[in-house]
Amino acid sequence: MTMRTDDVPDDVKPSDLMVLKTGIEGADIVFALHQACFPPGSGERWSHTDLCEVLRMPGTLALIASRDDQPLGYGLARFAADECELLSLAVADPQRRSGVAHALVGHLIHLCRNRSMARLFLEVREDNEAARALYNKSGFKMVGRRPRYYKMANGTAKDAVTMAYSLND
């Protein structure tokens, strides 16, 4: 684990929540949360190898949110030129609806501002109502659609919606 990122505005983070920024050294924690949050066949599940490959890419980082040293959720992001992509985000089921994901997204927006990014964007499965509600609440707008982007284990595919948060406004 490398550094704290708790120099963010007070309205972003519940006071008992810690958010740490990490790289490949946090891969096992991120992977455990990822596996618990994305069921097999969901079209969004990564292998440990894939995750490590992404975390080793230049410009990639993970934010891990924890309470009492217990990891609760993560956000994985890649910075390139003046854009940042939120690659994956998840919060452990028992801890949901307590503002953890909102805090992670808020931290990422804060990091983007500090790094003078112009845009933060992501893809979300069209039928993922919880995530879409979170991103709407966090200020993202829908900017596009990718048909059949998520390949499901049963051979079907689900559309992705592309959403973006403009940091120039």
Residue 25 structure tokens: 């050294």
99 binds ligand COA (CB under 6 A): yes
Helix (H) or strand (E) holding 167: none
Helical H segments across the chain, by residue range: 27-37, 48-56, 100-114, 129-137
142 binds ligand COA (CB under 6 A): no
Q: Nearer Cβ to ligand COA, position 18 or 124?
A: 124
102 binds ligand COA (CB under 6 A): yes
96 binds ligand COA (CB under 6 A): yes
Residues numbered 110 to 139 that lie near ligand COA (CB under 6 A) are: 124, 128-131, 133-134, 137
Strand partners, 119: 83, 166
Classify 81 in phi/psi space as left (phi over 0), alpha (psi -120 to 50) or beta.
left
Q: Nearer Cβ to ligand COA, position 26 or 46?
A: 46
Interface ranges with ligand COA (CB under 6 A): 37-38, 89-91, 96-102, 124, 128-131, 133-134, 137
